[in-house]
Each structure stands twice: as structure tokens, then as C-alpha cells.
Amino acid sequence: MRILLIGYGKMGHTIERLALAKGHEIVGALIVDDADKLASYTAEQVDVAIEFTSPDAAMGNILTCFEKNIPVVVGTTGWLQHLPFIQEKCEELKGSLFYASNFSVGVNLFFHFNEYVAQKMQQYPEYSVQVKEIHHVHKLDKPSGTALSIADGILKHFPQKHGWINDVSPEPELLGVVSEREGEVVGTHIVQYTSENDTFELNHIAHSREGFASGALLAAEWLPGRQGIYGMNDLLQL
């Protein structure tokens, strides 16, 4: 398979190494400042693109891939406020997009169990709930896309909550999502339920970026030939 890497940081380098080990071809590796070069690639040259850049760059890269009829796997977070527009353009241009806030198989199972627990815990108002995420100091967006996916899964089952705040919540109607940036932490996500009597937690700790990279590569192998917007639930049949 011919893969175009859009974004060539730590994640891009890891995906490249894993892709080459599986016999795939890397036809190009663009850095964030190479956005204009993306338009020079065609569907005849590229089977799928994998995009890990920045929130500001992601939108343009996705639209260019749609215009070029290149399926694109996107791991950049922080742009989902534009998702309705992207959905509209995907349908209009018959594009192919696979988006995940986190490509780790373990994290996506965490999402699944997070919703199950939230569905049960909303029946017990004596417990308060909070989300916490810890990442390396280089991460640009707060909260992380993974934390927002976790928050969405909780809010879906807590109708008494009206949204989230990126801090410890000052009122029970808002879900607190606390963000910390420390050293080179790959990614830790914690959902904490607390009452006067006890505390219990769901947590996921990433040990390396390889889990994210291998999941993104799996998505890239799965996406070509499909039209529309997909995610890890589709890939893992959750």
C-alpha cells in the first residue's frame, strides 16, 4: 500500500517504521509547513494519507485530500468544532475520512467500558465524577481529544450535566476535565467517581506511542475503498 504521511514528527516517524516493516511504501512525508505540497499528490500516486499535524493545519489537509480523492486517516485533535462542515464537504466531494481522538485499541475499549460505567453510576447521585488527563509538555490542545471523547461518553448518560469545563468543576451541572502537562508523559486518562465513603477509578496509561501508531496504520489499511466518515468503533466493531 502506498502511504502519504502528512506530519512527520514523532508519530509520523513511528508510523513510517511500522509501515515499512509491514511491506508498505511511504510515497512522501510532509512537515506542517509543506501544506502546499499536498496538492501535488494524486489518487493515482497515493492509496491513503495519514495526517498527524496541528489543529490549525488539519482542516485544510482534510479538504485537500477530499478534493484529490485520497482517503485520509486523521489523528490530529482540537478541530472537532468544524466537524459539521467536514461532514458536509465529505458528502459533497464523496470523500473518505477516518478520525479517532486516539487509535489505541486499549483506549477504545476504555471508551466502551467508560460508557457502561457511566450508565450505571448516574443512578447513584452520591458519587461525583471527574476526568483527568496527563500528557507531555509539547501537546498543544487542552483537554486532549481522548479526554473529550471520554467526557462525551459520560455526558451521554448524565442528563443532569449540561457540559464540561477544563478545570475542577465548580458546580455539579458541569463535568470537570482536568488537564496536566508533565515532562514526556505519553498519555494517561483517568475517570474518577468519588463519594464520602469511597473512590474508584477507571484509568488507561500509555507506555509508548507505538500503540497509537499501529492503530493508525490498521485504520489506513482498512479505509481505502470506503466512502464517508469512520472511526475506531467501525474498525473494531464495538
Query: Which residues define the annotated binding site for NAD(+)?
Result: 33, 75-77, 100-103
The answer to whether 52 touches 45, Cβ cutoff 8 Å, is no
Task: Specify whether 157 is catalytic.
Answer: no
> What is the pairing mode between strands 128-135 and 163-165?
unpaired
Binding-site sequence positions for (S)-2,3,4,5-tetrahydrodipicolinate:
136, 145-146
For residues 233 and 231, what is the distance between their CA atoms, to the nearest angstrom?
A: 6
Which residue type occupies 100?
Answer: A
Burial letters 126-163, b for 16+ CB under 10 A, else e:
ebebbbbbbbeeebebebbbbbbbbbbbbbebbeebee
Considering only CA atoms, give the Rg of the chain: 19
Task: Specify whether 135 is catalytic.
Answer: yes
Binding-site sequence positions:
33, 75-77, 100-103, 136, 145-146
Q: Measuring CA to CA, how many Å separate 49 from each of 5, 16, 41, 56, 216?
A: 6, 12, 10, 18, 11
Q: Measuring CA to CA, how many Å separate 35 from each of 41, 62, 67, 133, 237?
A: 11, 11, 14, 30, 33
Determine which one of 13, 89, 112, 139 is catalytic: 139
Determine which one of 24, 68, 132, 135 is catalytic: 135
Q: Known catalytic residues?
A: 135, 139
